[in-house]
Structure 1
Amino acid sequence: MVKKNQYLSSEIISKLDNLHIIAKKVVEGFIVGLHKSPYHGFSVEFSDHRSYGPGDEVRHIDWKLWGKTNRFFVKRYEEETNLKAHIMIDQSGSMKYSSHSINKLEYSKMLAASLSYMLIKNQDSVGLYMFGDAIKKIISPRSTQSHLNTLISQMEQMRTSTKTNISKSIHQCAEKIHKKGLVILISDLMDDPKDVLMGLKHFLYKGHEVIIFHVLDPQEIDFNFKERIRFKDFESSNEILTDPRQLKRTYQKKFNEFIDFYKRHCGQNKIDYVSIRTDESLENALSDYLLKRKKLN
């Protein structure tokens, strides 16, 4: 059970201009709000160390840290991490859309940074895959504080591209990941659902667990446009001037079919599917991640 935290509001959080600070505030605020956390003993200070224990060599003790804390810590190694997570962020043109202060890419970056922060603080390793019509950037999984800084720096530099090919990008990513792990896909899924599903099955075939955060703007769901409006396709630059009130019923029928397809097929294939609006608190996404993480333990 999570206690609601006003400081996790996406509107408030987005006013901070540093993604690392955003991630830190979101995660620490979220952890404080947990009544029962699977992260018992969660540490936000020494992600690159663990407590000294039987079998550890004295020469590996970090004496500077001992001087500060009066406790014995040894440096962690990559093989000691619990889980390899691979975060895929969609940076295609449609992710630029926003009906309020945060577009879908900005929200996705805040979510990805918060998940990365939480994973690495729990001694898991995180990799990053940025994609549009293909994989644009790959950062291999690691679990150190310096790696977290690298991930967040790359996220801060992300901008939307133009074209989309989610299924192609997923297949490329699946071929790059050789060891079983957790794949986290953050996207608006604006591509052919059947093709996307085939890509997701590629991950399953290779033994990965998959969680999808389907990031949507409120207007994409509600379609509450009141007057004639010009719609522009961010990826093709095509425009159409129309009265949205005449389209609303047809649009929502098609949109609901789109959502239902993912809910149904993800459920059938044991893929965790989470639909999240950009005006929602990030705590909802973090709660769903923790439920998934608990299943993997």
Structure 2
Amino acid sequence: MPIEPSFLDELARLEASLTRETDSRRRGEQESPDVGEGLTFSDYRRYTPGDDVRLVDWRVYARTDEYFIKQYEAERNLTVHVLLDTSASMDFGDEGEHKFAFGARFALAFAYFAAAGHDSFRVSTIGTDVERLDRGRSTRGELLALLDRLNEVEPDGRTDFAEALATYAKTIRSRSLVVVVSDFIDDPDAIEDGLAALGRSDVLLVQVVAPAERDPDVAGDAVFEDPETGTTQRAYFAGSTAESYRDRLDAHIDDVAARARRLRADHVVVDTDADFFESFAEVWRRQDERERRRRRR
């Protein structure tokens, strides 16, 4: 299911809503606007009660006898790296619940919100190799081009997380948030090795799960195929076998989450049958809160 250009307009509405929500919460916490290093002057506006008096330009007041606030624009001091898994296992799920389609929207949304927050973004696919999709311009025009490139990607093969993340880590040169969007169907040891290679970067794992994975629409004698290796296995899927499968899936998800915590990475699970914008908003709120806590330290 391709991503339509109108998706960017929907992201704009979501970003405006979340910005209002964040501003309201910060006012309630009586936080002052960021001033000083890392900010560049943008414009003036008239003072209103409740504004930080430190931002009043007293030289303008001396000339006009009116209070004006200096507005600042944050410099791009964070790079958001989004790594999207293109392994064959991501090519799973019904229309509207497809894992790769859902994950690609997450990748584009993170890029959009990075640009909206005056940060830079880089979006790459990880699979049999690492391929960068953006051209280094954190603009709306680049987002449109990125949308087209994501629509051209066809999941295939397998992803070696240890090798892919270690390879990508060598390209990180500045303070970064690395967002890995995947189903993480791989050896947990390989996933942990890959996360360790990312070093001091903030890391967020977004694990996408399709409803048919949690509860396969299969009963009785069936043949199961590994989409990444092509190997097949016949099994009778019912009763205790089905229950064992679900337990193993839950255990794998829990194992990935535990290894992420051990390496101080964040981990969230998103179901592809959920409303996309609600899912992304929840993940973004969580990441925003984590960033605010980091800045307080």
- Normalising by the residue count of structure 2, what TM-score does the alignment of the two structures yield? 0.74
Asked whether 1:24 is paired with 2:17, we answer no
Structure 1 residue 136 displacement after superposition: 3.1
Asked whether 1:270 is paired with 2:264, we answer yes
Structure 1 residue 140 displacement after superposition: 5.7
2:113 alignment counterpart: 118
Work out whether 1:295 is the aligned partner of 2:277. no
The answer to whether residue 236 in structure 2 is matched with residue 251 in structure 1 is: no
Distance (Å, rounded) in 1 between the aligned partners of 2:24 and 2:138: 17
CA distance 1:27–1:218, shift in 2 (3 Å): farther
Which of 123, 132, 137 does residue 137 from structure 1 map onto? 132
Residue number among 88, 92, 105 corresponding to 1:97 in the alignment: 92
The AA in structure 1 aligned to 2:209 is L
Deviation at 1:98, TM superposition (A): 1.0
User: Structure 1 stretches of 5 or more lacking a match?
Assistant: 1-13, 41-49, 55-72
Tell me which amino acid in the other structure corresponds to 1:32: S
Q: Which amino acid counterpart does residue 89 of structure 1 have in structure 2?
A: L
- Give the superposition deviation at 1:251: 1.2
Mapped to 1, the partners of 2:253 and 2:104 lie a distance apart of 22
Alpha-carbon spacing, 1:35–1:225, altered in 2? closer, same or farther (3 Å): farther
- Distance in 1, matches of 2:247 and 2:286, equals 31
Cα deviation, 1:86-125, whole Å, max 9, x if unaligned, reads: 0000011100011454321111111111222222122221
Instruction: Write out per-residue CA displacement over residues 36-90 of structure 1, whole angstroms, 9 at most, x where no aligned residue.
Output: 22599xxxxxxxxx94469xxxxxxxxxxxxxxxxxx99x9xx922421000000
| Cα contact 1:129–1:173 (8 A) shared by 2 | no
Is 1:170 the counterpart of 2:155? The answer is no
Q: Which amino acid aligns with 1:125?
A: S
Cα distance in 2, alignment partners of residues 128 and 34 from structure 1:
23
Distance 1:31 1:260 in 2: 34
- Which residue identity lines up with residue 22 of structure 2 in the other structure? S
Paired letter, 1:231: F
Which whole-Å CA distance do the structure 2 matches of 1:27 and 1:103 have between them? 23
Amino acid at match of 2:87: S
Post-superposition Cα deviations, 1:135-159, rounded to whole Å, max 9, x if no partner, equal 1335365422222223222212111
Identify the structure with bigger relative contact order (alpha carbons < 8 Å, sequence gap 6+).
1
Alignment of 1:1-297 (within 5 A): 17-29=2-14, 31-32=16-17, 36-37=21-22, 51-52=42-43, 80-99=75-94, 101-137=96-132, 139=134, 141-203=136-198, 205=199, 207-246=200-239, 247-282=241-276, 283-297=278-292
Greater C-alpha radius of gyration: 2
**Preserved contact between residue 216 and residue 278 of structure 1 (Cα < 8 Å):** yes
Aligned length: 252
Which is worse superposed, 184-193 or 17-26? 17-26
Checking the alignment, whether the CA contact within 8 Å between 1:266 and 1:272 is kept in structure 2 is yes
1:134–1:166 CA contact under 8 A, matched in 2:
no
Per-residue CA deviation, residues 175-197 of structure 1 (Å, 9 max, x unaligned), is 11121200000001011111111
Cα distance in 2 for residues equivalent to 1:19 and 1:183: 25
Cα distance in 2 between the residues matched to 1:93 and 1:20:
26
Please list every run of 5 or more consecutive structure 2 residues that lacks an aligned counterpart in the other structure: 26-40, 46-70, 293-297
Task: Report the secondary structure of 2:84's partner residue.
Answer: strand
Per-residue deviation, 1:238: 2.2
Query: TM-score with structure 1 length normalisation?
Result: 0.74
Runs of 4+ in 1 over 4 A off after TM superposition: none
Change (3 A) 1:93 1:18: closer
| 1:208–1:93 CA distance, 2 compared to 1 (3 A) | same
Question: Take 1:53 and 1:105, find their aligned partners in 2: how far apart are those partners?
Answer: 44
CA distance in 1, matches of 2:184, 2:86: 11
SS in 1 for 2:131: strand
**What secondary structure is seen at the aligned counterpart in 2 of 1:248?**
helix
